[in-house]
Amino acid sequence: MKETGTPLITIKDMQPDVFKALLHFIYTDSLQITDDLEGNDRVEMLQHLLVAADRYDMEKLKLVCERILCDNLDVENVATMLALADQHHCDILIDACVEFISSQKIMDSVAATKGMRI
């Protein structure tokens, strides 16, 4: 039920779950991501949260997301993760991506993924 005179604020370009996690971090200084998210869904949520943290200049949240994403790199997501890290100036994530793909065996696998196709 909406109270009379209460202004409605619309946040565009952000999923409700991402906004909820952002607010949770603001109030508790801890990251809470739904337990039912696994694998790619969890990584995608963290990527969206990193973008939101960068947009609202929340450096601590951005760093937390960045470090968790470093631990979730794989052959399928490293190319897109590197692009995201570069776009949002995430030096730790950039370094982790470069280190991950530095082996020739890994680089050949990464080059064959959708993320590397132009």
In this prediction, residue 35 carries a pLDDT of: 60
Are the C-beta atoms of residues 112 and 75 closer than 8 Å to each other?
A: no
For the segment 54-106, what is each residue's pLDDT rounded down to a tens digit? 999 999 999 999 999 999 999 989 999 999 999 999 999 999 999 998 876 67
Domain boundaries of the chain, sorted by first residue: 16-116
- Quote the CA–CA distance of 62 and 57 in Å, as a whole number: 8
What pLDDT score does 106 carry?
Answer: 74
- For residue 83, which of 68, 74, 94, 69 has the smallest C-alpha distance? 94
Per CATH, the number for 16-116 is 3.30.710.10
Residue 43 pLDDT: 93
Q: Note the pLDDT tens digit of each residue in 26-59.
A: 999 999 875 667 778 899 999 999 999 999 999 9
Q: How far are the Cα atoms of 6, 20, 71, 111 from residue 106, in angstroms, in the given order?
A: 54, 36, 16, 9
What pLDDT sits at residue 34?
Answer: 57
- The pTM of the full predicted model, rounded to 2 decimals, is 0.80
